[in-house]
Amino acid sequence: MSLSSVNQYSSAPIEINVGDQYGNFEVTEFTDKKIELKNRVPIRMSPGDYVTILEDLIDFRVADDVYRACSYNMTKDVIKSYQIKGTSITVNRSDSIPDSCVWTADSFGMLYYDLENNFSTESLELNLDAKNDWIPEGGLVYESSPVRVLYKNPEMKGYGENAFEGGYSALGWDGEKYVYLGNNQGIIHILMDDDKDRRLYSGEEWGLGEGYTLKVDGIDSDKVYLTVLRNNVAVYSSIISPGNSADLGTHTLLYNKTINGIEIPSFPYMWRMSWKETKAPV
């Protein structure tokens, strides 16, 4: 048999609240439409200085009046070399107009970009005070806005509610892909969302992270017996039939779990099965 579609979400949500601080940055807005962080104090930077944004992933550096978003190949104490550098902005202090620049995934590679669905959600905006050689309070803004992604599995199109109705809201955070649960609900890491064909045989187990495993207990001519285990303890079992239809549960193993009051379908994963093999290889 073949596993033709899978979704997997982390069981550990990340809580984000207005007022949370990340170094010199503070969450200033967390709504159904976006997450926004701004520097809470002026950032005074001399040539060669850098400031870190979001868990040491996105850094910001100035050298000879050239400001650049960047990510380093670094240890905690020693910067070894640039890893990824974004578009730079050159500061002209003789000009009375404030300098500004916006980085997106197109201009800075550490911001998340979904190649399959062709979207990005993160941006980093710099606004400099025309009279001073520093970034004023609120002058550096990180923002990420969710984008709706539909389920690949046709049986899931009419399923779900809130953040998971017919699909899920995805956004980049710290350069990775997450599900956006909405205002005051946090975000959860998307561990897997693809439709790559995977061949599984009777008795085989497939580890899916965070202690979860899918086990194929047996395969009959028209049935597949599946068990979901966590830390080697069975938490759910299902019998599905290979093929294609619009009947949820006929060809899809659906395991739900509630996180922060929201029912997350197929947590941590779901399957749409198609019949391709009934016998183990010789």
Least confident stretch, 140-149, 178-187, 247-256, 267-276: 267-276
User: For tokens 């029912």, what's the residue?
Assistant: 263
Top-confidence residue, 77 or 2: 2
Chain centroid to Cα 112, Å, comes to: 8
Q: Domain coordinates of the chain in residue numbers?
A: 2-14+146-274, 35-144
Mark 227-241 as b/e (b = at least 16 C-beta within 10 Å): bbbeeeeeeeeeebb
> Would you give the DSSP letter of residue 17?
-
Measured CA to CA, the distance from residue 47 to residue 140 in angstroms comes to 18
Work out the pLDDT band at 267, boundaries 50, 70, 90.
very low
Q: Which of 95, 71, 98 is nearest to 83 (CA)?
A: 71
CA distances from 85 to 43, 140, 237 (A): 20, 17, 48
| Structural domain 2-14+146-274, CATH architecture | Sandwich (2.60)
Top-confidence residue, 43 or 248: 43
For the question of whether the overall pTM of this predicted structure is more than 0.85, the answer is no
Work out the pLDDT band at 29, boundaries 50, 70, 90.
very high
In this structure, what token pair is assigned to residue 106? 């197109």
Q: DSSP letters along 185-241, please?
A: T-EEEEEEEE---EE--TT-EEEEETTEEEEEEEE-SS-EEEEEEETTEEEEEEEE-
Least confident stretch, 14-28, 48-62, 182-196, 234-248: 48-62
> Would you give the DSSP letter of residue 41?
S
